[in-house]
Amino acid sequence: MSFPRPVAYIPGQTPRHPEGLFEALRATVRPGMSEGALADCDALRAGLYYLDEGLFWEAHEVLEPVWMACPPNSAARQVAQALIQIANARLKLRMGRRQAAARIAALAGRHVTEVRHAGGEAPLGQSLESLERRLEALRQDLR
């Protein structure tokens, strides 16, 4: 599946995307999906792409159903939450809300710590190292 490659939405600064733009991506996640299926779904792929491309609101929008489909208290859910919080913190930073960004980055750090303590394989196909790199890059930008 190809996915929309929109202009970044920044609340209060740029126009919002058309309603339903991300519905096809969000629909690639269904309740009860295995972690492997979630790791391969287009919503996760698009969320990571958007995060890497600076489309932070968009990343959050498509990663949210992945997070909701992960089992409670699982390492996969911690990974999804960390990615969402990193996207959210980066969006707040872009909006000039440094204090909010720092608070949210701390939340992301707690999720990464939970993943580290869980050990084992890379949840949702995301290595601990890649999560830590994303978090450290955010922390650098906050300095």
Which domains does the chain carry?
Answer: 30-142 (1.10.3450)
pLDDT band at 5 (very low <50, low <70, confident <90, very high): confident
d(CA 51, CA 64): 13
pLDDT of residue 1: 59
8: nearest Cα among 45, 44, 61 = 61
Give the rounded percent of residues in the chain with a pLDDT score beyond 70: 99
Greatest CA span in the chain, whole angstroms? 42
d(CA 114, CA 53): 26
pLDDT of residue 119: 81
